[in-house]
Structure 1
Amino acid sequence: MSLKIENTDPQIYFHGRWDTSPGTWWAGTGFKLHVQNLHSLALDLGPHTTSPLTSIAVSVDYNNFTTVNVSSGTNVIPVRSPSRTSVVRINVEGWQNNRMNLESLALNSGASLLSYKPSELAFLFIGDSLSAGQYIPMGVDQAWTFIVGERFKAEHTVIAQPGITLTDVPSYGNVHGMSFQFFKTEDTGYYYTTDHNYTTPWDFSRDKPTPTHIVIHIGANDASHPVSGDEFVQVYLDFIRRLRRIYDRQPIFVFTPWGWPAADGEISYYYDGRYEQIVVMSNDKNIFLVNATGWVSWDDVFPDNLHPTVAGHQKIAGEFMNWLENRGLKPESQWATPVLA
Structure 2
Amino acid sequence: MLDTLTPHRHRLRRWLAAALAAACVTGGLTAFSTVSANAAEADEVTATQVDDPNLQYYGRWAADGDWRTMGWAGSYVESGFTGSSIGVHLRGTIDMYYSIDGAPEQWLRAVSGDVSIATGLSGGDHTVRIGFREKAGSYNGDPAFGGFIVASGSATTEIERPEGFIEFIGDSITVGQPNGDRPFTAYPWLVAEELGAGHAQVAQGGACLVSQDCYGMMDWFRRSSTWVDSDDWDFSTYQATAVVINLGTNDIGHGVSTEQFYENYIVMLERVREAYPDAQIFAMGVFRNRYVAETQSAVQVRNDAGDANVHFVDTAGWVDPATDTHDNVHPTDAGHEKIAGLLTPVLQEYL
TM-score, normalisation: structure 1: 0.82
Greater RCO structure (CA 8 Å; 6+ sep): 1
Superposed CA deviations along residues 82-108 of structure 1, whole A, max 9, x for unmatched, are 362111111113352353222343211
Q: 2:220 maps to which residue?
A: 181
Report the secondary structure of 2:196's partner residue: coil
CA distance in 1, matches of 2:223, 2:350: 33
Of structures 1 and 2, the larger Rg is shown by 2
* Alignment partner, residue 288 of structure 1: 311
SS in 1 for 2:59: strand
The match for 1:270 is 290
Give, in angstroms, the shift of residue 199 of structure 1: 4.3
Does residue 255 of structure 1 match 2:275? no
Specify the alignment match of 2:75 in structure 1: 29
Once the 2 structures are TM-superposed, how far is the Cα of residue 79 of structure 1 from its aligned partner? 5.4
The answer as to whether partners of 1:56 and 1:67 remain within 8 angstroms in 2 is yes
Are residues 1:44 and 2:83 paired?
Answer: no
**Aligned counterpart in structure 1 of residue 256 of structure 2, from 217, 227, 245:** 227
Per the TM alignment, residue 237 of structure 1 is displaced from its structure 2 partner at its CA by 0.6
Partner AA of 2:279 in structure 1: Q
Secondary structure class of the residue paired with 1:55 = strand
Partner SS, residue 224 of structure 1? helix
Paired positions, count: 298
Contact 1:25 1:99 in 2 (8 A): no
Change (3 A) 1:145 1:127: same
- Provide the aligned C-alpha RMSD in A: 1.8
SS in 1 for 2:60: strand
Instruction: Report SS of the residue matched to 2:107.
Output: strand
Q: In the alignment, does 2:84 pair up with 1:64? A: no
> Which residues of structure 1 form unaligned runs of 5+?
191-196, 260-268, 330-341
Q: Deviations over 1:190-232 (max 9, x none)?
A: 2xxxxxx64460011112xx21111111111112222011100
Write the distance in 2 (CA, Å) between the matches of 1:328 and 1:23. 32
Distance 1:98 1:293, change over 3 A: farther
Which residue of structure 2 lines up, in the alignment, with residue 205 of structure 1? 236
Partner of 1:6: 49
Give the conservation status (yes or no) of the 8 Å contact 1:255–1:290: yes
- CA–CA distance in structure 2, aligned partners of residues 183 and 253 of structure 1: 18
Maintained 8 Å contact 1:213/1:250: yes
Change (3 A) 1:254 1:126: same
**Residue in structure 2 matched with residue 338 of structure 1 by the alignment:** none
Contact 1:60 1:80 in 2 (8 A): no
Moved beyond 6 Å, runs of 4+: none
Aligned pairs (5 A) from 1:1-341 = 1-21=44-64, 22-37=68-83, 39-46=84-91, 49=92, 53-78=93-118, 81-82=121-122, 84-94=124-134, 96=136, 97=140, 99-171=142-214, 176-187=215-226, 190=227, 198-199=229-230, 201-207=232-238, 210-259=239-288, 269-282=289-302, 283=304, 284-297=307-320, 298-303=322-327, 306-325=329-348, 327=349, 329=351
Q: Which residue of 1 aligns with 2:17?
A: none
Give the AA of the match of 1:277. Answer: S
Distance 2:255 2:53 in 1: 46
TM-score (normalizing by structure 2): 0.80
Query: SS of the counterpart of 2:317?
Result: coil
Give per-residue Cα distances to partners, 1:258-299, cap 9 Å, x unaligned: 22xxxxxxxxx2114112211111122111111010000020
Percent identity over the alignment is 28
Q: Secondary structure at the match of 2:263?
A: helix
Provide the rounded CA distance (Å) in 2 between the counterparts of 1:169 and 1:83. 55
- Counterparts of 2:332 and 2:190, CA distance in 1: 13
Unaligned regions of 5+ residues in structure 2, if any? 1-43
Cα drift, residue 143 of structure 1:
0.4
Partner of 1:332: none
Q: 1:80 to 1:311 in 2, by over 3 A?
A: farther
CA distance in 2, matches of 1:83, 1:319: 40
Distance 1:198 1:274 in 2: 29
Q: Is the 8 A contact 1:44 1:74 kept in 2?
A: yes
Give the AA of the match of 2:296.
E
